[in-house]
Structure 1
Amino acid sequence: MQTQHEQTPGRIEVHHMQPVIQDRLLKLPEVLELVPVASSTWRRWVAEGEAPAKVKRGRSTFWRLSEVQDFINGSWQKSQ
């Protein structure tokens, strides 16, 4: 767990911060290894909101691993 230290004269106070958890980003071929459908099917599902939304980083497209896992497990919720 990460901590933040504040110094006051004569003592140090420690405040606990929530750990930073970074979700792994998957490229399309990695997604299709987990969800065995045609790329056109996956892209259609994404466009229709039936699968997790893509994440753009520059010109590259990714999907969050946690959302793909939720999709596979049936616990993924459509965005409203």
Structure 2
Amino acid sequence: MVKVTLVHSEWCHFCPAAKSLWRDLKDKYGFEYNEVELDTPEGKELAQKFHIRSIPTTIIDDEVAFVGVPDREQASNVVT
């Protein structure tokens, strides 16, 4: 099963759109999904591990797949 992790922050203006997109796709396709706040220990660990410099960043199966809000079609293609 595909595992999607969205690294986001409360102060990010683009993150709500990314959250909405991934939540909708999760409901439609049923993959594993997790949201991680950048300013938490887990978020800081992911930022260091994946060299995250911009958010939202989407990690899919342990690789950075998207930086920013992905196009719905491109995101759908990755999780199906």
TM-score, scaled relative to structure 1: 0.27
Which structure has the bigger radius of gyration? Answer: 1
